[in-house]
């Protein structure tokens, strides 16, 4: 997943990770989990991650899913479940959700969930919108 250029287009370094980088990323994720793993209910097949990670003191909400699972409504379901779980632990008003203008699929997910775009901005050199998580 982390070595897939499609998945990584709007994440992290905006490029597919090398095998060593991906291994290191997963080792860190296992040692210090922050986001929820997404898995297929019947087979437990790994699909991706969703939730909040604190980055530079800011709660950052995000998700990433293996590309072969795109377009199946999984992102919206995972986000809804993560928000329900996290709402008891974190003030979601303080969470940052940034979606790049070119990330049309994630904008659709945010709209489907009823999240409101609050302001335009840039992050990691990309222009986009910040969204407010609503339940």
Q: What is the mean pLDDT of residues 83-108?
A: 94
Q: Where are the domains of the chain?
A: 5-132
Give the pLDDT confidence of 14-57 residue by residue, as tens digits. Answer: 899 999 999 999 899 888 888 999 999 999 999 999 999 998 89
How much of the chain, in percent, has pLDDT values that exceed 90? 81
Report the DSSP pairing between strands 36-39 and 97-100.
unpaired
Contact status, residue 69 vs residue 48, Cβ threshold 8 Å: yes
Report the DSSP pairing between strands 97-100 and 116-123.
unpaired
Give the pLDDT confidence of 50-78 residue by residue, as tens digits. Answer: 999 998 899 999 999 999 999 999 999 99
Q: Which CATH superfamily is domain 5-132 in?
A: Gcn5-related N-acetyltransferase (GNAT) (3.40.630.30)
Kindly indicate the confidence band of residue 124, based on its pLDDT and cuts at 50, 70 and 90: confident
- Alpha-carbon torsion, ordered 108, 131, 66, 57, to 10 deg: 180
Give residue 24's pLDDT. Answer: 95
């Amino acid at each position: 997943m982390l070595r897939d250029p499609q998945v990584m287009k709007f994440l992290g370094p905006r490029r597919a990770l090398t095998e060593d980088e991906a291994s290191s990323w997963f080792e860190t994720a296992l040692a210090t989990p922050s986001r929820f793993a997404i898995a297929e209910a019947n087979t437990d097949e790994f699909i991706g991650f969703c939730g909040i990670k604190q980055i530079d003191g800011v709660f950052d909400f995000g998700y990433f899913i293996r590309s072969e699972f795109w377009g199946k409504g999984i992102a919206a379901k995972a986000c809804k479940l993560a928000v329900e779980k996290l709402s008891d632990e974190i003030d979601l008003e303080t969470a940052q959700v940034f979606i790049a203008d070119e990330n049309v699929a994630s904008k659709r997910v945010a709209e489907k969930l009823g999240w409101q775009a609050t302001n335009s901005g840039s992050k990691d050199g990309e222009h986009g919108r910040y969204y407010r998580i609503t339940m």
